[in-house]
A and B are shown apart, each in its own frame.
Chain A
Amino acid sequence: QVQLVESGGGVVQPGTSLRLSCAASGFTFSSYGMHWVRQAPGKGLEWVAVIWYDETNTYYADSVKGRFTISRDNSKNTLYLQMNSLRAADTAVYYCAREGFGGELLYWGQGTLVTVSS
């Protein structure tokens, strides 16, 4: 069955960097677009970034543009989110999600918590 397992979260200081990973299994990873979505404490879901199945295109939310980079390694079935210049406002649970055939977010991981605090 489809599994998405995020890792790499933790407590970091403002201005520092962190890289999240999402290990995928149970499907042909290189055939699907992948997304990152986050939820700050007490807030709603916020779409963060998407990467196409073949890495040809990436898009970002305005709130992270220029600071975050989404990437993937199709040979390792792994999705990444490189987060630089972290701010307190980036504190959230970060979920990776796989698209369905129409771009909907069909499968989700359990999330990894990132806390940005001094």
Chain B
Amino acid sequence: QSALTQPASVSGSPGQSITISCTGTSSDVGGYNYVSWYQHHPGKAPKLMIYDVSKRPSGVSNRFSGSKSGNTASLTISGLQAEDEADYYCTSYTSSSTPRVFGGGTKLTVL
């Protein structure tokens, strides 16, 4: 099962908005509304930011939003803050024998 495709890095200035894409296939991202996004600061536990494509868990800032079009899901962070600097991973349910697949990760730099 191939990993979902994410850009290796994105950057933005404080207050700006950025979008991270996550491209899969009709067997994963395109076939199910089960895309999740995780924030990972090095040395810490990953944190769920978005699930079911666009839902936010309790306690996650509404600056984080998710969407999907076809085989590509997206995470948008608005009003960038320094603490948003982290690695971000998407994951999706898949119809293959391995029911979860992660994206390769995107390093977000807040300039």
A contact residues vs B (CB 8 Å cutoff):
35, 37, 44-47, 50, 59-62, 95, 97, 100, 102-106, 108-111
Query: Inside 8 A of A100's CB, which chain B residues have their CB?
Result: 48, 51, 57
Chain A residues within an 8 Å CB radius of B105: 44-45
Number of contacts between A and B (CB, 8 Å)?
65
* A105–B102 alpha-carbon span in the complex (Å): 12
CA–CA, A38 and B46, complex, Å: 11
A44 near B104: Cβ-Cβ < 8 Å: yes
Contact call A104/B100, Cβ cutoff below 8 A: no
| Residue total for B at the interface (Cβ-Cβ under 8 A) | 27
- Residues on A with beta carbons closer than 8 Å to the beta carbon of B45: 95, 108-111
Which residues of chain B are near A59, meaning CB under 8 Å?
Answer: 97-99
A35 to chain B, nearest CB (A): 7
Partner of B38, one of A45, A50, A62, A109: A45
0/1 per residue, B1-17, Cβ < 8 Å to A? 10100000000000000
Contact with A44, one of B44, B48, B103 (Cβ below 8 angstroms) = B103
Contact of B102 among A45, A108, A111 (CB under 8 A): A45
Of residues 71 through 99 on chain B, the ones whose CB sits less than 8 Å from some CB of chain A are 87, 89, 91, 93, 97-99
Are B102 and A44 in contact (CB-based, < 8 A)?
yes
**Do the beta carbons of B89 and A45 come within 8 Å of each other?**
yes
Q: How far is the CB of B29 from chain A (nearest CB, A)?
A: 14
Given contacts A45-B40, A95-B46, A109-B45, contact A62 B98 (CB under 8 A): yes
